[in-house]
Amino acid sequence: GESVGLHLPTLSVQEGDNSIINCAYSNSASDYFIWYKQESGKGPQFIIDIRSNMDKRQGQRVTVLLNKTVKHLSLQIAATQPGDSAVYFCALSGGYNKLIFGAGTRLAVHP
Amino acid sequence: ETGVTQTPRHLVMGMTNKKSLKCEQHLGHNAMYWYKQSAKKPLELMFVYSLEERVENNSVPSRFSPECPNSSHLFLHLHTLQPEDSALYLCASSQDLGSPEPQHFGDGTRLSIL
């Protein structure tokens, strides 16, 4: 079955630096990948998604990279701000619109 | 404005109580989901509804009983829960089940079982 792993449970960065959060997955048949941000006391908030026919997609200050060869997904946040402090989840499709989530990485931004 | 509203935000109940969690989505979506989020574990999909029909029941104990009276509302009826059921219960919705797309989440109900 599918599994989604995170490389690090916690990531600490300085304000203004770039952040990179990584995700590994096992199912090569997955064709849709998504990143969520969850702040304390709130539900997961959609950040950016990517389909398997792409290897890079950019949003506002965020970039998602997909390497299907090594089954690796990453989220890059440019010029990290205190408001970016949260838990970040990657998820991938497991059939129709069933999403399989990773355990999450906590991003801590220090001034 | 999240578009997905869950009530109550917090719930404390005894193991013999019966309560219900409510979810309402204002996005015109056709699919709705219940997830369980426990500390240090990935989100666990519990139930999936599409056009008010249950599509998936992920081996969830019968003490959790979902209800979807229309495409905008989803309930989770709880009875005879166990302490290990204490968790954050999240509701989500998406336009359809057909093709992968973002699911939109509510802020959850924090459930504590005494």
Could you report the per-residue pLDDT of B81-104, keeping only the tens digit for each?
999 999 999 999 999 887 788 999
Measured CB to CB, residues of chain B less than 8 Å from chain A are 2, 4, 6, 31, 40-43, 45, 48, 55-56, 90, 92, 94, 96-108
Q: Nearest 5 degrees, angle CA A62-CA A64-CA A70? A: 155
Buried b (16+ CB within 10 A) or exposed e, A65-93: bbebeebebbbbbeebeeebbbbbbbbbb
Please compute Rg for chain B using Cα positions.
Answer: 13
Instruction: Give the model's pLDDT for residue A1.
Output: 41
- Shortest distance between the Cα of B48 and any Cα of chain A, in A, equals 8
A contacts of B56 (beta carbons < 8 Å): 98
Which one of A23, A66, A96, A100 would you mutate to disrupt binding with B, by most B Cβ within 10 Å of its Cβ? Answer: A96
Lowest mean pLDDT among A28-32, B11-15, B19-23, B38-42: B38-42
* Three-point CA angle B12, B13, B17, nearest 5°: 160
Residues of A in contact with B8 (CB under 8 A): none
Residue of B nearest to A90 (CA): B42
Helix (H) or strand (E) segment spanning residue A96: none
d(CA A93, CA A24): 14
Say yes or no for a CB contact (<8 Å) between B100 and A32: yes
Is pLDDT at B22 greater than 50 in this prediction?
Answer: yes
Nearest-angstrom CA–CA distance, A90 and A57: 15
**What percentage of residues in chain B have a pLDDT greater than 70?**
98
Question: Which residue numbers in chain A have pLDDT < 50?
Answer: 1-2
pLDDT at A2: 46
Of A97, A100, A104, the CB nearest to B94: A97
Distance CA A50, CA A44 (A): 17
A37 touches A88 (CB < 8 A)? yes
Give me the pLDDT at residue B38, please: 92
**What single-letter amino acid sits at A7?**
H
Find the closest chain B residue to A9 by CA distance: B40
The 10 Å Cβ neighbour count of residue B56 is 17
pLDDT of residue B2: 57
Which segments within B1-114 are labelled E, that is strand?
A: 4-7, 10-13, 18-25, 31-37, 44-50, 53-57, 64-70, 73-79, 87-94, 104-105, 109-113
**CA distances (Å), A109 to each of A11, A12, A82, in order?**
8, 6, 5
Chain B residue with minimum CA distance to A39 = B107
Indicate yes or no: CB of A41 within 8 angstroms of CB of B107. Answer: yes
A33's tokens: 């990948």
- For residue range B35-85, list pLDDT tens digits in order: 999 987 889 999 999 988 888 777 899 999 999 999 999 999 999 999 999
Average pLDDT, chain B: 92
- CA-based nearest residue in chain B for residue A88: B42
Q: Cβ neighbours of residue A13 under 8 Å, at least 6 residues apart?
A: A19, A80, A107, A108, A109, A110
